[in-house]
Structure 1
Amino acid sequence: MADGMKKYILMHKNISVADIELDEATCAISAIGHVYSESHVPVGIPVKKGVINRAALNEWWKGRAIPASRAGIRNALEELNISTTQKLLEKCMGLSLSDQYWICPAGSGIEWSQVNFFEHSFSDDVGNILFGKGSSGDYISLMSPDNTSDGWLKKKWKIIDGKRCLIKGGSGATQQEPYNEVLASSIMKRLDIKHVKYSLLIEDDYPYSVCEDFITTQTDLISAWHLMQTMKKQNHVSIYQHYLDCCKAYGIPEIKESLDRMMVLDYLIVNEDRHQNNFGVVRNAETLEYIGAAPIFDSGTSLWFDKPTMMIGTRSKVGCKPFKNDHEEQIKLVSSFDWLDLNALYGIDEELRELVRGSLFIDENRCDALCKALRSRVDMLTDIVNTHRTGYVIDNCQGDVTEDVAYSGLEDDRDQ
């Protein structure tokens, strides 16, 4: 072994994938040795003539670490006496509650069944420190799935009634994201959209969202980003179509239908951050068979969460992802609204009002503005759906009836 290098085996549950070396100083993958199983190499990592692309595998590995943008991460690292989140990643052997990949120290004989976080308890130390609460004692255990949690909001995993649950905070003066998660969950329940259920937790007057892990010992979450790396995107093909093509190549069922529902939700709640790493698909970790689209999760960056009250509901431009940068354009990609019962949303604004009642961060003026804006989004979506279903629009100036293609879902989406 070269100086400053640590030898590991990249594992997928019980399957040996490849020998790797980590640089002791940076914890980056410095070398890849023998490849044991090409089929179990993480999705989207190129393998040519039995050789894994090291740069791509390194990006995947670094992507498992807590991002440097995480709120409070610098103070947490100081308290943990760890220089980078990459080193924190190594301390838990890369184990996650989102998939079954991990790194086994070479020659250790450690097995997945002995260490995985799905079947074993884990320390609250890292999570508590990330939440600014400090550790419970002199000894700090770094064996935690919190080391492999993504996103910029503070979050921690906790075992509640035997279930692995993610607790996630809010940001800024309004701390609105947890409320948004719960509201989005309620909207999806009303519309019969497959989703992760969120509940609200108030602790020390601060709101947090709580959801149960939807990944099990048998499954992997594969992000849309990694799935889209499996094929080269042609310049004339849109991101939306490229994702459909990649899913089709793997025989993943009902992806267009799941995207329809995701885009409808994101239109209603004005989601600004449905990036390619917070939606995707689920596969069987052992057979590698794709099961289908992941339930919708992570919808907190919505409803003008970081905007002043005066800007709520205005037509000022609000960001949109992942397929268009404008919600009015992205909703045009929806292929069918036949499944959508808008009557199910009756009273959703009052549900929001009740949800934020008593919040120290959302005052009555902001609550009124949010409820009014949410009603307006339902009305706007209703107009879009009615136009789509009739297939015609009235030209208000001329009174002419013209065929409508704007919401056919068949337009040529080539500007991405």
Structure 2
Amino acid sequence: MKVNDIRELSLTSTSKGMLYKCIGNINGKKVYIKTGAKLKNKFSILEPISEAIAYEIINKFNIPCAVNYIQEMKLPILERDVLVNVSEDFLQGDESLMSIRNILGNSSREELYNKVVELIPQFRIDIDRMIVMDFLINNIDRHLRNFSVIVKEGKVIRFAPLYDHGLSIYADIQDFELEQDDKENWEMIDECKPFCESHYEQLELISDVNLPTVKIEDILDIIDKYKEHLSLHRIECIKFLLEKRYNYLLEKGIL
């Protein structure tokens, strides 16, 4: 799949490393392209794969999510092909994206959920569904710039599709680190944003989310699609995480 008109190539610093980002188009469709974190002279494949898996899982629940997939690609300033994440632009016409940070401004975590819901009460169910999906995939990076509303002609028209799941399902943990502990202990490490410090605690904020029934087997099958890129232990850890949290959502009556 050929990418045309690649532009705005940049190196962006994050708390987890350095990511190359650029914009181009594929078959006339605007796309955002992002590598994994740079580790010495290589780029991690984990963040791109995490984005693709998260999209497939979220899509199973009929929740709007930016279309993401992986692709081997040679970017202009890189000498070799690398595995990247390709994310399709979901804006139409003169629509623009406004992050919750831009709406809310700087704010402490105290009562943050209530503050956000008071600002955009019509989107509470979207926020609650986002919380459920972040719990399921253990997304550790849902800061206030990582969810948004879509604006047209100065008016908020809808909640934006979910995006930026690169730090889900242990993508921030390299294989040699992941091997240091078992799958049960990794699931108990529960880092969360933006409303609470724990995904389990954050889940207590939501009301009825009215999600469709999705079989756990269908979710786990998604992981197997990427097994050629992932170690056996990583696959076991991811599947344990998803199955345990899926069952917890069932027990709570959320799914």
Same fold (TM over 0.5): yes
**What SS does structure 2 have at the residue aligned with 1:199?**
strand
Q: Which residue of 2 aligns with 1:209?
A: 85
- Measured in 2, the distance between the counterparts of 1:258 and 1:180 equals 21
**What SS does structure 1 have at the residue aligned with 2:197?**
coil
Once the two structures are TM-superposed, the CA of residue 187 in structure 1 deviates from its matched residue by 1.2
Distance 1:341 1:220, change over 3 A: same
Tell me the TM-score normalised to structure 1 length: 0.51
Off by >4 Å, runs of 4+ in structure 1: none
Distance 1:236 1:195, change over 3 A: closer
1:336-355 equivalent positions in 2, closer than 5 A: 336-337=208-209, 339-354=210-225
Q: Which residue of 1 aligns with 2:100?
A: 224
Once the two structures are overlaid, the 10-residue window that deviates more, 173-182 or 159-168, is 173-182
Contact in 2 for aligned 1:157/1:164 (Cα 8 Å): yes
Once the two structures are TM-superposed, the CA of residue 311 in structure 1 deviates from its matched residue by 5.2
Q: Which residue of 2 aligns with 1:55?
A: none
Structure 1, residues 329-380: CA drift from partner, whole Å, max 9, x if none?
001111114x1234344331122122x2322xx2222222222322222122
Query: 2:243 is matched with which residue: 369, 375, 381?
Result: 375
Instruction: Note the aligned Cα RMSD (angstroms).
Output: 2.7
Query: 2:32 is matched with which residue: 166, 169, 174?
Result: 166
Matched, 1:241 2:107: no
Once the two structures are TM-superposed, the CA of residue 271 in structure 1 deviates from its matched residue by 0.5
Structure 2 spans left out of the alignment, 5+ residues? 74-79
Q: Which residue of 2 aligns with 1:186?
A: 56
Structure 1, residues 143-179: CA drift from partner, whole Å, max 9, x if none?
xxx9xxxx95321111111111011111258531111
Q: Which residue of 2 aligns with 1:283?
A: 151
Letter in 2 for 1:372: F
Distance 1:381 1:244, change over 3 A: same
- Measured in 2, the distance between the counterparts of 1:369 and 1:236 equals 30
Once the two structures are TM-superposed, the CA of residue 289 in structure 1 deviates from its matched residue by 1.6
- Measured in 1, the distance between the counterparts of 2:109 and 2:70 equals 44
- Measured in 2, the distance between the counterparts of 1:368 and 1:263 equals 24
Tell me the TM-score normalised to structure 2 length: 0.80
**What SS does structure 2 have at the residue aligned with 1:343?**
coil
- Measured in 1, the distance between the counterparts of 2:204 and 2:109 equals 19
- Measured in 2, the distance between the counterparts of 1:237 and 1:357 equals 40
- Measured in 2, the distance between the counterparts of 1:202 and 1:123 equals 15
Matched, 1:269 2:137: yes
Distance 1:380 1:123, change over 3 A: closer
Name the structure, 1 or 2, with higher relative contact order (CA <8 Å, separation 6+): 2
- Measured in 1, the distance between the counterparts of 2:183 and 2:140 equals 13
Q: Which residue of 2 aligns with 1:79?
A: none
Q: Which residue of 2 aligns with 1:200?
A: 70
Query: 1:331 is matched with which residue: 193, 196, 203?
Result: 203
Q: Which residue of 1 aligns with 2:77?
A: none
**What SS does structure 2 have at the residue aligned with 1:346?**
helix
- Measured in 2, the distance between the counterparts of 1:200 and 1:238 equals 37
- Which structure would you say has the larger Rg? 1
1:116-195 equivalent positions in 2, closer than 5 A: 124=7, 126-127=8-9, 130=10, 153-171=19-37, 172=39, 175-195=45-65
Contact in 1 for aligned 2:6/2:22 (Cα 8 Å): no
1:382-393 equivalent positions in 2, closer than 5 A: 382-385=250-253
- Measured in 1, the distance between the counterparts of 2:30 and 2:171 equals 27
Q: Which residue of 2 aligns with 1:14?
A: none
Number of residue pairs aligned between Structure 1 and Structure 2: 232
Matched, 1:297 2:160: no
